[in-house]
Amino acid sequence: MSAVPRSAMADPIPAGAGVGLKPEHYQHILKTRPAIGWFEVHAENYMEAGGPPHHYLSAIRSMYPLSVHGVGMSIGADEELDQLHLARLKAVCDCYQPGLVSEHLAWSTHEGTFFNDLLPVPYNCQTLQRVCSHVDQIQSTLKRQILLENPSTYVVFDASEMSEVDFIKQISERTGCGLLLDVNNVFVSATNHGFDPVAYIDEFPIERVGEIHLGGHSVDADDTGRTLLIDSHGTQVVDPVWELFRHVVRRTGRCPVLIEWDNDVPEWESLHMEAIRAEAILHREGARHAVA
| Distance in Å, CB of 211 to other proteins, minimum | 21
Residue 220 in the binding site for other proteins (CB under 8 A): yes
The verdict on 143 binding other proteins (CB under 8 A) reads no
How many Cβ atoms from other residues are within 10 Å of residue 89's Cβ? 23
Q: How many CA atoms lie within 13 A of 90 on its CB side?
A: 14
The CA-based angle 166-161-70, given to 5 degrees, is 55
Binding mask 96-115 for other proteins (x = CB under 8 A): -----------xxxxxxxxx
Interface residue with other proteins, options 34, 45, 206, 250 (CB under 8 A): 45
Of 2 and 129, the one with the shorter C-beta distance to other proteins is: 129
Q: How far apart are the first and last CA of the chain?
A: 30
Q: How far is the CB of 270 from other proteins (least distance, A)?
A: 20
CA proximity to 72, closest of 114, 39, 111: 114
Question: 260 near 213, Cβ under 8 Å?
Answer: yes
Q: Figure out which of the listed residues 66, 71, 105, 209 binds other proteins, where binding follows CB under 8 A.
A: 71
Tell me which residue of 266, 259, 232 sits closest to 25, measured CA to CA: 266
CB 23 to other proteins: min, Å: 10
Q: Under rule CB under 8 A, which residues in 158-177 are in contact with other proteins?
A: 158-159
| From 12-20, 139-147, 220-228, 280-288, span contacting other proteins (CB under 8 A) | 220-228
Mark the segment that binds other proteins (CB under 8 A) among 47-55, 140-148, 163-171, 240-248. 47-55
Considering only residues 222 through 251, tell me which ones interact with other proteins, judged by CB under 8 A.
222-224, 226, 228, 230
Q: Which residues of 99-127 are buried (b: 16+ CB within 10 A; e: fewer)?
A: bbbbbbbbbbbeeeeeeeebbbbebeeeb
Of 2, 83, 126, 270, the residue at the interface with other proteins (CB under 8 A) is: 126
Q: How far is the CB of 30 from other proteins (least distance, A)?
A: 12
Q: Which residues, including other chains, have CB under 8 Å from residue 69's CB and lie 6 or more apart?
A: 20, 40, 41, 42, 43, 101, 102, 103
In angstroms, give the least distance from the CB of 163 to other proteins: 12
Nearer to other proteins, 38 or 167 (CB): 167
Distance CA 97, CA 19 (A): 18
Three-class DSSP category at 235: coil
**Which residues, at least 6 apart from 247, have a Cβ–Cβ distance to it below 8 Å?**
198, 201
**Closest CB to other proteins among residues 217, 272:** 217
199 membership: H or E segment, kind and range: helix 197-203
With CB under 8 A as the contact rule, which of the stretches 28-36, 217-225, 266-274, 283-291 interacts with other proteins? 217-225
Residues that bind other proteins (CB under 8 A): 44-45, 47-55, 71-74, 77-79, 82, 85, 88, 107-117, 119, 121-122, 124, 126-127, 130, 154-159, 192-194, 220-224, 226, 228, 230, 263
